[in-house]
């Protein structure tokens, strides 16, 4: 490879909009077909209704695409937004970016909430949201330079291949002296060659003097980015402080920031110790509660989990401050320095691995039967460097392994590879193939939904069995929790707008362990409230973790401890302090409800968003095979006899599997009914006209979509 070349093909100076109360009220549109740069104001009505962040992203996407737009059509638009509260230094989790596009995996809008400094830098450079549309005819790098007030588009050649090297090279290229002023968004070769490409959002770690990154992982936004021939989008901005958002009440902002940060500093060491172990504490906890996916979600625990959890990673993680946002007291974005991969292009070199988090350990470790902390690190490193979502990678390979062990596919299909559970060599070989778009890896890189079809039509594999064990819904691979014993979390996955990601609702413990939602109505209430509140973080540009991963000491004495009401009040205060709008905790929910329902209608516009699309594979509900049933026989037998009043004395295991399945599938359908009703949707899962009117999103084009889908 030669020396990196960036040839400026367009430069547009602009007058940087002042940030007022968290907003610039400007949007930036870059059309790569025409190399066109356009800046336009954001209507007050849009601001009132969509708030910012994911709300803005969805609104601009809605206007850019038609119902027949496919992920690789030029009009598919990647939107990136920060939200009005994003960019508050010192507020825990106060600097996320929210990215959306039409997903290659689902065909519908996908959203991802990601750390790194890009979102805030872009906002402070003058833009609440950027929309990237069209397709370039050559590799392209875009610079949003808030220091010099210029947007530049470059034709790029000889860039480093991986996101790992590219983020570093571009950071130093655009501000050698002050690399901390730069944040880079990159994908990688894996994003070009799979449908689950992720985006890496960087920040410069001043303590370690190196570029770090976090991933907007879900749904293949990196694939869309690569398809547009965008190699990187770079934001450059200078010093920031609490004043940079120009808050309505600086003193109130300082007070609430200090209060929340102080609590985290005091309580994290006594609670989950995330500043030391990140989210790896969840590995032993999920394992003990039978919720850690092992062997393609077949089981929920394994003795090997003991060596891939916090006890191990605490000692491997590099010591130092690990906030993916400036001054975030949770500081949970850990990494490992001087790691030496044993395969691939970095074999034998020393690299820094950003991660792993719980999801990667579970998805690329236990779910594959790999109980080796170092192999998980290597998978983590390559997935990020290649630009591939570790969750989809883990869940897809888990599916392949089970198909292989059941002889649905053989070495004839895998190019001679033994893809049995636990085979780390084959796993890494597959990941390298996926990134290059070669061999059997090219098929795995299409994700579980497409693999099911390919295996059935080309390899004559059992389609019904693959439907049961293929852990995808709406086309998106499941994130890493076993939900068999939590009906509420089955809904948390199946009824999530974008597909089975846990960021809308995580109810396993409330439901399964504490039994706090015994009725369908209780579960429906939780599946209304939690997704609405969690959506709010995406509107405002915040990280959810500081809300309920560290909780006040007196939280248990409150009326509804699961909601962590004290923190919600702080978030309302935070919103009031920045925007100047006196905001109550209930207001936060109503802000989200409008955007949430709009996204459901957006799904509908794209041909999805109805009851059928909220289906989940049976493995998410219960034991598919006799082996699974017998592994937890006492539990299931007791349920059949005590909960469902059956006489099982004459039943063999297969009969019991079938009987349990009938009950559980029926429960899931009843849950759908209860949740739809609570959300103000009809029995087909579509928001009613009354609901969209109540929420003020009864725009003519929304009503048109409803009418086209039979809503009178």
Partner 1 sequence: MIQVDEKPVKWYQGMTIADLLEQMEDVRFCSVVRLNGRLVSSPKFADTRIPKDAVIQLLPLVAGG
Contact between 328 and ligand SF4 by CB under 6 A: the answer reads yes
The entry of partner 1, ligand SF4, none that residue 60 binds, CB within 5 to 8 Å by partner kind:
none
Contact between 332 and ligand SF4 by CB under 6 A: the answer reads yes
Task: Say which residues have a Cβ less than 8 Å from residue 553's Cβ, sequence separation at least 6.
Answer: 267
Contact between 561 and partner 1 by CB under 8 A: the answer reads yes
Name the residue among 180, 223, 225, 220 with its Cα closest to residue 202: 180
Q: Applying CB under 8 A, which part among 228-236, 387-395, 551-559, 582-590 lies near partner 1? A: 551-559
Contact between 486 and partner 1 by CB under 8 A: the answer reads no
199: its two tokens: 């985006």
The 3-state DSSP class for residue 156 equals strand
Strand 97-102's sheet: what is its strand order?
36-41, 26-31, 129-133, 78-81, 97-102, 109-114
Contact between 389 and partner 1 by CB under 8 A: the answer reads no
Name the residue among 381, 553, 462, 436 with its Cα closest to residue 191: 436
Contact between 330 and ligand SF4 by CB under 6 A: the answer reads yes
219 vs 323 by CB, closer to ligand SF4: 323
Q: Applying CB under 6 A, which part among 328-336, 388-396, 449-457, 464-472 lies near ligand SF4? A: 328-336
Least separation, in Å, of the C-beta of 285 and partner 1? 5
Is the Cβ–Cβ distance between 484 and 622 less than 8 Å?
yes
- The Cα 205–Cα 710 span in angstroms is 53
Q: Applying CB under 6 A, which part among 280-288, 481-489, 539-547, 698-706 lies near ligand SF4? A: 539-547
Contact pick of 335, 546, 609, 617 for ligand SF4 (by CB under 6 A)? 546
185 vs 543 by CB, closer to ligand SF4: 543
Is the Cβ–Cβ distance between 329 and 265 less than 8 Å?
yes
Least separation, in Å, of the C-beta of 336 and ligand SF4? 16
304-323 residues near partner 1, rule: CB under 8 A: 310-311
Q: Where are the alpha helices (DSSP H) in 303-415?
A: 310-316, 358-364, 373-386, 390-405, 411-414
- The Cα 4–Cα 157 span in angstroms is 6
Least separation, in Å, of the C-beta of 1 and partner 1? 39
287 vs 597 by CB, closer to partner 1: 287
3-state helix, strand, coil in the chain (%, to 5): 45, 15, 40
Is the Cβ–Cβ distance between 359 and 380 less than 8 Å?
no
Contact between 529 and partner 1 by CB under 8 A: the answer reads no
Q: Applying CB under 8 A, which part among 40-48, 406-414, 549-557, 686-694 lies near partner 1? A: 549-557
Is the Cβ–Cβ distance between 254 and 262 less than 8 Å?
no
Least separation, in Å, of the C-beta of 279 and ligand SF4? 8
Stretch 504-523: interaction string toward partner 1, x if CB under 8 A: --x-xx---xx---------
Contact between 499 and ligand SF4 by CB under 6 A: the answer reads no
- Map tokens 């920045």 to a residue: 578
How far is residue 3 from each of residues 9, 157, 158, 212, 655, measured CA to CA in Å? Answer: 19, 8, 6, 23, 66
Number of amino acids touching ligand SF4 (CB under 6 A): 13
Least separation, in Å, of the C-beta of 212 and ligand SF4? 11
The entry of partner 1, ligand SF4, none that residue 161 binds, CB within 5 to 8 Å by partner kind:
none
Q: Applying CB under 8 A, which part among 152-160, 228-236, 255-263, 546-554 lies near partner 1? A: 546-554
Q: Count CA atoms within 13 Å of residue 252 on its CB side.
A: 18
What DSSP letter does each residue of 508-519 carry, written as one string? HIIIIIS----S
What's the residue count for the chain? 712
Is the Cβ–Cβ distance between 678 and 488 less than 8 Å?
no
The entry of ligand SF4, partner 1, none that residue 270 binds, CB within 5 to 8 Å by partner kind:
partner 1
Contact pick of 36, 73, 249, 290 for partner 1 (by CB under 8 A)? 290
DSSP code, position 428: H
Contact pick of 129, 166, 562, 621 for partner 1 (by CB under 8 A)? 562
Contact between 289 and partner 1 by CB under 8 A: the answer reads yes
The entry of ligand SF4, partner 1, none that residue 503 binds, CB within 5 to 8 Å by partner kind:
partner 1
Contact between 277 and ligand SF4 by CB under 6 A: the answer reads no
Least separation, in Å, of the C-beta of 184 and ligand SF4? 17
- The Cα 566–Cα 573 span in angstroms is 11
Contact between 276 and ligand SF4 by CB under 6 A: the answer reads no
Least separation, in Å, of the C-beta of 506 and partner 1? 4
Contact between 637 and partner 1 by CB under 8 A: the answer reads no
Q: Applying CB under 6 A, which part among 228-236, 480-488, 540-548, 626-634 lies near ligand SF4? A: 540-548
Q: Applying CB under 8 A, which part among 253-261, 280-288, 389-397, 427-435 lies near partner 1? A: 280-288
Number of amino acids touching partner 1 (CB under 8 A): 32
Query: 150-157 and 351-354 as β-strands: parallel, antiparallel, unpaired?
Result: unpaired
Residue 328: which H helix or E strand, with range? none
Contact between 543 and ligand SF4 by CB under 6 A: the answer reads yes
261 vs 292 by CB, closer to ligand SF4: 261
Query: 210-216 and 199-205 as β-strands: parallel, antiparallel, unpaired?
Result: antiparallel
Q: Applying CB under 8 A, which part among 236-244, 384-392, 540-548, 602-610 lies near partner 1? A: 540-548
120 vs 300 by CB, closer to ligand SF4: 120
- The Cα 281–Cα 402 span in angstroms is 27
658-687 residues near ligand SF4, rule: CB under 6 A: none
Query: 78-81 and 5-13 as β-strands: parallel, antiparallel, unpaired?
Result: unpaired
151 vs 331 by CB, closer to ligand SF4: 331
Name the residue among 513, 530, 545, 554 with its Cα closest to residue 285: 513
HEC secondary structure over 553-580: CCHHHCCCHHHCHHHHHHHHHHHHHHHC
Contact pick of 93, 190, 341, 622 for ligand SF4 (by CB under 6 A)? 93
187 vs 562 by CB, closer to partner 1: 562
The entry of partner 1, ligand SF4, none that residue 284 binds, CB within 5 to 8 Å by partner kind:
partner 1
Contact pick of 555, 579, 603, 682 for partner 1 (by CB under 8 A)? 555
Contact between 559 and partner 1 by CB under 8 A: the answer reads no
95-124 residues near ligand SF4, rule: CB under 6 A: 115
**Phi/psi at 200 (nearest 5 deg)?**
-100, 125
- The Cα 430–Cα 394 span in angstroms is 11
Least separation, in Å, of the C-beta of 561 and partner 1? 6
CA 683-689-690 angle, 5° bins: 95
Name the residue among 389, 368, 359, 361 with its Cα closest to residue 297: 368
Is the Cβ–Cβ distance between 663 and 653 less than 8 Å?
no
User: Sign (positive/negative) of CA torsion 197, 203, 205, 211?
Assistant: positive
- Positions that interact with ligand SF4 (CB under 6 A): 93, 115, 323-325, 328, 330-333, 543, 545-546
Note the residues at the interface with partner 1 (CB under 8 A): 270-272, 281-282, 284-285, 288-290, 310-311, 479, 481, 502-503, 506, 508-509, 513-514, 544-545, 548-549, 551, 555-557, 561-562, 564
């Amino acid at each position: 490879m030669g020396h990196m070349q960036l040839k400026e093909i367009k430069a547009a100076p602009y007058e940087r909009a002042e940030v007022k109360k968290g907003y610039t009220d400007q949007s930036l549109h870059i059309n790569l077909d025409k190399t066109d740069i356009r800046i336009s104001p954001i209507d007050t009505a849009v601001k009132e209704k969509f708030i910012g962040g994911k709300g803005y992203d969805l609104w601009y996407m809605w206007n850019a695409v038609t119902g027949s737009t496919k992920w690789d059509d030029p009009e598919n638009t990647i939107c990136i937004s920060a939200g009005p509260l994003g960019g508050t230094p010192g507020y825990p989790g106060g600097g996320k970016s929210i990215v959306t596009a039409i997903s290659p995996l689902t065909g519908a809008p996908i959203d991802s909430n990601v750390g790194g400094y890009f979102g805030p830098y872009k906002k402070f450079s003058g833009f609440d949201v950027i929309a990237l549309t069209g397709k370039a005819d050559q590799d392209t790098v875009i610079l949003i330079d808030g220091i010099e007030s210029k947007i530049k588009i470059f034709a790029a050649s000889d860039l480093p291949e991986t996101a790992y090297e590219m983020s570093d090279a571009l950071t130093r290229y655009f501000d050698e002296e002050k690399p901390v002023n730069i944040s880079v968004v990159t994908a990688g070769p894996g994003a070009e060659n799979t449908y689950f490409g992720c985006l890496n959002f960087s920040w410069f770690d001043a303590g370690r003097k190196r570029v770090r990154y976090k991933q907007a992982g879900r749904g293949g936004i990196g694939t869309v980015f690569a398809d547009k021939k965008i190699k990187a989008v770079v934001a450059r901005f200078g010093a920031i402080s609490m004043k940079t958002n120009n808050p309505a009440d600086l003193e109130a902002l300082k007070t609430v920031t200090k209060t929340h940060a102080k609590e985290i500093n005091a309580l994290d060491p006594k609670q989950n110790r995330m500043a030391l172990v990140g989210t790896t504490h969840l590995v032993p906890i999920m394992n003990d509660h039978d919720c850690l996916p092992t062997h393609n979600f077949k089981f929920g625990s394994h003795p090997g989990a003991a060596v891939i959890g916090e006890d191990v990673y605490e000692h491997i993680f590099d010591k130092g401050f690990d906030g993916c946002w400036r001054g975030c007291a949770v500081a949970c974005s850990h990494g490992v320095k001087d790691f030496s991969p044993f395969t691939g292009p970095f074999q034998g070199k020393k690299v820094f691995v950003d991660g792993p988090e719980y999801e990667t350990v579970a998805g690329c470790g236990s779910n594959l039967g790999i109980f080796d902390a170092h192999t998980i690190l290597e998978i983590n490193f390559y997935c990020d460097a290649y630009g591939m979502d570790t969750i989809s990678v883990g869940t897809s390979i888990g599916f392949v392994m089970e198909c292989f062990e059941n002889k649905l596919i053989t070495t004839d299909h895998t190019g001679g590879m033994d893809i049995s559970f636990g085979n780390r060599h084959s796993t890494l070989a597959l990941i390298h193939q996926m990134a290059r778009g070669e061999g059997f890896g090219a098929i795995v890189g299409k994700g579980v939904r497409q693999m099911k079809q390919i295996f059935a039509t080309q390899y004559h594999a059992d389609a019904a069995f693959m439907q049961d064990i293929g852990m995808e819904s709406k086309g998106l691979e499941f994130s890493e929790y076993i939900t068999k014993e939590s009906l509420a979390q089955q809904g948390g996955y199946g009824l999530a707008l974008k597909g089975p990601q846990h960021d809308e609702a995580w109810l396993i413990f409330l439901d399964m362990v504490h039994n706090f939602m015994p009725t369908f109505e209780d579960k429906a209430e939780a599946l209304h409230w939690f997704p609405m509140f969690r959506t709010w973080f995406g509107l405002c540009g915040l990280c959810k973790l500081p809300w309920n991963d560290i909780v006040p000491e007196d939280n248990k004495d409150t009326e509804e401890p699961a909601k962590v009401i004290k923190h919600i009040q702080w978030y309302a205060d935070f919103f009031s302090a920045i925007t100047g709008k006196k905001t109550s905790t209930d207001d936060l929910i109503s802000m989200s409800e409008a955007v949430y329902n709009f996204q459901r209608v957006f799904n509908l516009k794209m041909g999805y968003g109805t009851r059928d699309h909220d289906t989940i594979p049976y493995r998410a509900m219960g034991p598919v095979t006799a082996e699974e049933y017998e592994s937890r026989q006492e539990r299931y037998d007791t349920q059949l006899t005590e909960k469902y009043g059956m006489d099982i004395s004459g039943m063999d295991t297969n009969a019991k599997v079938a009987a349990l399945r009938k009950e559980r599938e029926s429960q899931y359908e009843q849950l759908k009914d209860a949740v739809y009703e609570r959300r103000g949707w009809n029995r087909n899962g579509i928001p009613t006209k009354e609901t969209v009117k109540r929420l003020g999103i009864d725009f003519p084009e929304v009503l048109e979509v409803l009418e086209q889908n039979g809503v009178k």
